[in-house]
Structure 1
Amino acid sequence: MDEYNKSLIKRWHDSRVFNLEKDRFKQKRIISTEITPIDSYSMTSKSLYPYLLADTFNRYFKMCGENIYYIIGIDTASYVSYSFLSNHYLDSKNMLKEYLDVLNIMGVGFDYESIITQENDFVLKEIDKIFLSLYNKDIFFENGPVLTDSLGIKIYNYFEARENNGAFYDAKTDALLCKTNDDYFYFEMRPYIKELETLIDGLSLSAEKKDKIYERLGKKRCVKFLFSNYKEKIEIKVNLPKTYWLGGVVAILLNPKYMDVMPYVCSTEYEVVNHYLQNGYQAGVFSGTTVLNPLTGEDVLLFISYDTECDIYPLIPACRKFDKIYTDSFGLDVKEITENDLMINSDFLNGLDINEASRALEENFVFEGMAFIEYQYESTKLIISKKEGYGILIPMMLKNEREIVPSNLKYLPFYYNQRMRPVINNEAELESEYEISGFEMTEELVYSLMRYLESRIDTNLNVEISKPDAKELSFINEDKIIEELIIPHLIKLALNESPKVEYSLYKLNPVSEQALLAYNTQNINFTRDILRESKEDAYRLYILSAEPCDDFEMTKLHIAKYEQFIDELESLYHDGFSENTFCFEERLYKLTGELNSLLKNKRLDLYIESINRFLFEELLTNKMSEREALIYLKLVSIVCPFTSQKLFEEIFEENYFLVYEEWPFLN
């Protein structure tokens, strides 16, 4: 066993989790849970949401000094899973409905069905963008103790309060404040209210309804969503499958993309895996490495799943008596539980009957952040106030003390599904032809890639594919195209219902597709040679707006990105527009040379003036169509999003929504 795995085991054995939890199970102090059986073969979106969210929100809460896993719950009379963030992340119509529900709670009532019409489709696309930005920034953390108003809604900084005899008061209104030791996570909608008002203007509503909305928004323009951790008020229900009856090994996925409990048939022999695949089972092949089993502290085999391209490891070899020989081939000690002929290999579960073992596993899953947990609050603890706004409590779920490390790429299998990664035959070829650097997987990327993969399911599960030429798969770590352009593109495509956009997603060229899927927890960086293989898609990637820029300071990254765009402009633009191409490109190339000089000297006033003059001249002389001007502005946005938006509004002020509706792929 290598030193790394030894250190993992030692860390686990020394951890508070391992020792305290093991004692707890010996005493059979089991939490009260309700088990809801689920389909063994289903991997529903509902079951994935908590783990997608847990992964992405970890990024924001590292300031706490710990990894935090949680899901989102809302007060309800039943145990129905409900989440503002997750359930409405995928569908713009649902997001709009949720926003309208917020307005209803604030005192504005109208019929949702009368609003969602085809003529308002462009509004839904705008909502996609607003909510995406809303969920990815402006999230704050307040470490307890925290000062709040009497309802626990508004959070006060200490300079906004005054202290008198140990009590705190609002510095302006003298209202008594509450002091709580709870940790608060929250974001403010203030920066987005204006955008949402613009959307309301575009809705087909009566003037009376609009007036009611604006009247309410005028009274309370800041809507806060408070995240808190009222653990003592939470009732827990764990949704786990009670048993699986496969002739192989039940496994749990290591990748947060599919962090769910699913059955897998695992084997060190490809023939065994192939047999189960042909009979409709999910299966994986031994990867050549081992990982730590969090339940036992044991070093166990690591497998690669053929169905979800995730690393998996055996959790419970659940087999019938006639499969004992197969189980023994793993070198696992088997403890037979007589009920239902089920055998469990873990010493951790020995001596427990099937129900006790199930509860023990559930509690471990809860503690490790791997179980699907639903919360129910006392209704008085749900923050809803017509005066102050609308809030949803978001509890902490668990702290994760175990680090998950992806397996080395050299252990990828030789055969794979067509929707899987490129074939890697040996370590020498890997080191000579692949350069890969790690990056942090976000919820958006996880889901967009998941949808992309699931859309390409092929009935022929095992196809041997030849290795692409080295020059087509040459990755350069310094190039950030994948991180800054392609990922946002995939996100928007995955969330957009437009057939034109979906077509673009599925038409990514084979080289790009294989590179994207090479390993779903690694950052694959594209070279311009790869982008040139699919100019139409590369062109669309380039015209997407980059990250927002709050000031006029042009960084080296912006300039480098712009210069790289100039290198590609002629070939990409030529494919996009055949009319007057030469004249336009010639003038554009000359202008961009001047713009580069202005950017480097930070003369942004001249930069804006030059773009304005160029566009108006081209439009007035009919050398450029409005469509071409619009696309050029999107290209400019790579360098300066603020400038692009300003020019866009000036030139297309009257046709703003018409342009977006006509050219959704530019949205």
Structure 2
Amino acid sequence: MDRDYWIKKWQADKQFALENDRLKKKSYIYTPFPKGNLYGFQNGDARGLIYADTLARYQRLQSFNVLFPTGCHSLCNTSFVENKKLSNVLNDDISEVFTRQMYSLGIGINDAKHIDMRHNEYLQNLQQAFLDLYSRGYIEYKDTKVYYDKKANKIYDAIVHSKELPTIFYKSFVLKVNNLIDDIVDDINQIDCSDDIKKKLLNCFKPKRVLDFELFVSNGAKLNVSMNDPEYMGGISFIFLNPDYIDIINYVDTSEYESLMSYLEGRSTKKLFAFTGLFARNPLTGMEIPIFISTMFQCDVYLGIPGFDEDDKVLAIEEELEVIELVKEGRMVNSDFLDGMSPVDANETIINAFIDADIAKLRIVYEHQEILLSSLDNFGPLFPFLEDKDSKEIFSLEGHLPYAFSSKMRPVLIDNVDIAGNTMNGTINNLFTEGMCPIISVLYDSIGSIIPMFSNEAFSELNRMNGISYLAIKDSELISSVLMPMIFYRIIEIESGKRLPRLFNKIELFDNIIDIQHKDIKRANNNLIDFDKLLAAYSSDAIRMFMVSQPSNEVFMFNKYQLEDIDNNISKLYSKLLEPVDDGGSCDYALFNLIKECNSSLEKYDVLGYAKAIEDFIVNYALEHGLSKKQTFIFIRLISPIMPFLAEEVYKEIFNGKYSLMNEDWPN
């Protein structure tokens, strides 16, 4: 089979281009771009790409207008800089390796939507989007608490931080999501994906259950309070009210006015708090809790629980406040009906009991309300600002983009700009560059046009695409390529004042790839794959079938013996199909069922089920009995999404097809 012939023909015929036909059904298939390295798919991980391409090919045969952007994530190639391979950071070698291998795999590349993220056209769109979000107040530049890995010189925020690292304050760009979280949570719950994926996405915001209830004060007043850990309610031994946040007039006994004023005016010997003369009744234990006025804590009501919080315990001991023991040998004590339970069980029990008794309400709060967009990497996408090093004021480069590195590793603007300032430290991080990619891919084309993300044209284009039908993704990409695009998509809706179609419809998660010794495929294990050699040794169709031969959510074993068996079967199939039998009656019913199975599986985005049905038919019918010419014509159309080269070659040889098989109708 002539691989190069079909690659050139498909491109010459523009088989994968988006058509300017607004009446055609639209579909958007997406998978994150592979990250740049010198050798292409050296970890063997092209599964998501092949799954996505199989579905895109199927939908084109179903007369869909399919957007399937491809490309290379060539930003943030710090590893090449560290290895002194500077020339490979800023030339096209890296992206060309991936492009060549994608072509060889039969990936349907649309030149207008094939993106090298480092190139000026894409970078200009990316930096413009950053400026648009900054000018509208969604992005802020401020001192931010970050986790700092000194050894790697990297910073993280709470959303992606998974290591025990020290925290520092660092002036950074952050994306504010506090007003978006409720909508994003609704969007996440509507996605067609596993509960595990939904849970991981929701946990990015660190949701906490909060119990809201009233405390009855000894003077008849009521005090509204909230608890994140209500199982420790029995240990509340003091309450601080901050007069800067709450009107305290109803919570002070007249007998304590003088001492309270002395405290507030700084005349009291009690520096930390003043007693109000009142108590609140603990709704769990019935015990009285003294109420104090204090400015120590920056909130309206602070519940002191020394038996749970170490800082509260230190304060209580120093100020001779009560310390109530709460947990003994892993079980609750001094907690009424919670006694003897584990803290986890106690949490569930008290929440249910208080809600059932109608004395409390439950709500969900989210601790993580900002997302870090700054990186300390030196060679990622530059911030579209210049900074005055003295005043620390930053100045927008609006209208002068892209701002990129020259071949000599120097930051360069597209033209001379009379703006004071210097290049800012660090670069835009991967959460932004990858998160914007599904949005920009709709608005971007290779001729370098810019459609601002908040323009009417951008809204129209996004609305027309009707969301992403299918997303193939790895666990490590959930935040950057699912959560972040959802946030940006929501912001576009808010700014336009109109709703867009749901962004993600079907998400499929892909597990890691291992070798036959059950080791992860990576440089440290000395088991990287020479993908060019793989393509030279095996047919593209065999590699495609191999890559979809195991469930996506299970660890994939890269077993060359299995690949070799698949390749041999495909060679036999090719020879068999070139010699049609006169009567294929023994295969009629099986072929009829195969049509139904293929359609059922692909309509549900079940590529594995589709491939298994094809494989079973090949082994049990096509190779065993042979197919008639009429049956062959049906069969090659059914296999063309996963085995495009074989299907095209047989079509050309037997049917003298002048055009591509992709111009034929799909069997239904």
Quickly name the TM-score band, shorter chain normalised: under 0.3
Structure with greater Cα Rg? 2
The normalised TM-score by structure 1 is: 0.27
| Between structures 1 and 2, the one with greater helix share | 1
The normalised TM-score by structure 2 is: 0.27
Task: Considering Cα pairs closer than 8 Å and 6+ residues apart, tell me whether 1 or 2 has the greater RCO.
Answer: 2
| Between structures 1 and 2, the one with greater strand share | 2
